[in-house]
Amino acid sequence: MARIGEHAVVVGAGMGGLLAARVLSDHYDRVTVVERDALPDGPQARRGVPQGRHVHGLLPRGKDLLEEFFPGFEAQMRAAGAIDCDVLGEVNFQMAGRTLAQVSTGYRGLQASRPHVEHHVRQRVLSIPNVTLRDRSQVSGVITNSSATRVTGVTVHDAGGAEDLGADLVVAATGRGAIVPAWLDILGYPRPREEGTTIDIVYRSAFVELEPGALGTDKSLTIGVRELPPRALALFAVEGRNRYVLTLIGHAGEQPPADPAGFLDFAAALAPPHVRAALRRGELITDVATFRYKANLRRRYERLDRFPSGLLAVGDGLCSFSPVYGQGMTIAAIQMRVLQRCLAAGGERDLARRFYTAVTPEIDIAWQLTVIADSAMPHVGPHPDPAIRVAVAALDPVLAAAERDPVVAATLYRVMGLTQRPAALLRPDLVARIGVGAARAAAEVALAEAERRAGRIGGFVAALGPAQCLAAVKRR
């Protein structure tokens, strides 16, 4: 790779920051990652990643990108205890009351806790000779040239005091709160416009030990909101013997219990019968952790007319999605793949504009999938965008077909896993399958309703007796 500059600084050592350091290490003589937390030696949760104690999904595209960034990563993770999983054949995935057909796609996924994934990514980044990680260090501001048109470094505070670090490029990966808008205020630049959807989710999670075979042959169970009150559940096998992460979710004021007994009872009430008894016999091996997520948030940096060179905002500071859909780590990896291409194609020349322009369509796909799924929930009103309302109306036929048709189910899962574009569902053969599947589902519902009514009539006849029924008909 061609070298672009002497020194790059990354602010934040979460997934976005670590992957940024990996990409920058190919183009800069030195890369320094600055992190305010004291980083653990092993795969432990930490304060700076409050959602780290909850279920995380590494979507198929995210897993593929991690393997590209760190060859051998999949084998390393499996050797360290990550769960190997057929991404649809061994996954019980329920959305809006529909269960996707379980079919082997031939694609293997990885299931592990967020601290486990982040720990192994961090170890791989630290093994890169020109990368240094400074934890327990706080970036208090940026340094610029005299005209404030270019960022030339950051000021770092640690136990030894303050220090100015010069840099050719500063990449801010500080999470959803983000520090770049405040820096833009100070430097006299406009802030990016913010967009979001209020979803008001309360997550409660714990690691649980379940008996062997608790999920049958499945490795994970996901139950989306299907009725009111709006509740959801995710149960993933992760590293450790018979060890699972159990996350319970409440929307719009609904909150899962925080006490151990109530927590497991809440889970059992949502779970299918074959899992219910195992959950009731399960043992919590950690405290119940709580995380509240108020709204999806996206900052439209690509629409700014002015932006200082030598600076980028990435990760959750660029876009932050509902945790329900497990897109966070994968979107961070996608962003860094885009950055990798931008650096290889043009170095630092007009980097911010090129990066934000290139990453926008990638974010658009995940953003629209999230908004459509959120808008389909029973407690959410109609979306103001007519295109979203049309997509929501089209979702149930797709899900109805995906219950019965393995080809539709596999395609839908690839779209959700961000390995295929949503347009894959519009292929003529898929549209035909969706139409047939939705029609069969409607016919089954109508037949069940007819049988239910017939049963009620039969019960009525049995209760009154044939003679009384005949007399009642004649009187009419």
DSSP secondary structure, 327-380, as one string: -HHHHHHHHHHHHHHHHHHHTTTTHHHHHHHHHHHHHHHHHHHHHHHHHTSTTS
Specify the pLDDT at position 148.
95
Specify the pLDDT at position 194.
93
Residue 395 has pLDDT above 70, yes or no: yes
- Averaged pLDDT for residues 111-118: 94
Q: How large a percentage of the chain has pLDDT more than 70?
A: 95
Q: Which residues pair with 150 in a beta bridge?
A: 309
Specify the pLDDT at position 469.
46
Residue 449 has pLDDT above 80, yes or no: no
Bigger pLDDT: 294 vs 275: 275
Residue 145 has pLDDT above 50, yes or no: yes
Give the closest residue to 127 by CA, choosing from 47, 64, 72, 56.
72
Q: How many CB atoms lie within 10 A of CB 167?
A: 25
Would you state the structure tokens that stand for residue 91, as one six-digit string?
Answer: 């996954």
Would you state the structure tokens that stand for residue 153, as one six-digit string?
Answer: 């470094």
Specify the pLDDT at position 308.
97
**Buried/exposed 246-271: b ≥16 CB within 10 Å, e otherwise:** bbbbbbbebbbbeeeeebbebbbebb
Q: Is the peptide bond before 229 cis (omega within 30 degrees of 0)?
A: yes
CA distance 309 to 255: 44
Phi, psi of 151 (to 5 degrees): -80, 130
Mean pLDDT across the chain? 89
Residue with tokens 């490795």: 219
**Buried/exposed 413-434: b ≥16 CB within 10 Å, e otherwise:** bbbbbbbbeeeebeeeebeebb
Assign 128 to helix, strand or coil. Answer: coil
Would you state the structure tokens that stand for residue 36, as one six-digit string?
Answer: 């305010």
Least confident of 150-154, 155-159, 467-471: 467-471
Identify whether the C-beta of residue 60 lies closer than 8 Å to the C-beta of residue 410. Answer: no
Q: How large a percentage of the chain has pLDDT more than 90?
A: 62
Assign 307 to helix, strand or coil. Answer: coil
Digit-coded pLDDT (tens) for 397-418: 999 999 999 999 999 988 988 8
Q: How far is CA 420 from CA 170, 414, 415, 426, in A?
A: 32, 6, 5, 12
Bigger pLDDT: 110 vs 293: 110
Long-range contacts of 358-365 (CB under 8 A, 24+ apart): 359/302, 359/318, 359/334, 359/335, 360/302, 362/331, 362/334, 362/335, 362/338, 363/298, 363/318, 363/319, 363/331, 363/335, 365/418, 365/421, 365/422
Residue 107's pLDDT band (cuts 50, 70, 90): confident
Residue 223 has pLDDT above 70, yes or no: yes
Largest CA distance in the chain: 101
Would you state the structure tokens that stand for residue 270, as one six-digit string?
Answer: 């949502």
Identify whether the C-beta of residue 415 lies closer than 8 Å to the C-beta of residue 421. Answer: yes
Identify whether the C-beta of residue 138 lies closer than 8 Å to the C-beta of residue 179. Answer: no
Query: Model pTM?
Result: 0.89
Digit-coded pLDDT (tens) for 304-324: 999 999 999 999 999 988 777
Give the closest residue to 10 by CA, choosing from 182, 130, 123, 115.
130
Q: How far is CA 298 from CA 127, 247, 326, 359, in A?
A: 33, 25, 16, 13
Residue 460's pLDDT band (cuts 50, 70, 90): very low
Specify the pLDDT at position 476.
47
Specify the pLDDT at position 176.
79
- Averaged pLDDT for residues 316-337: 88
- Averaged pLDDT for residues 262-269: 92
Bigger pLDDT: 60 vs 127: 127
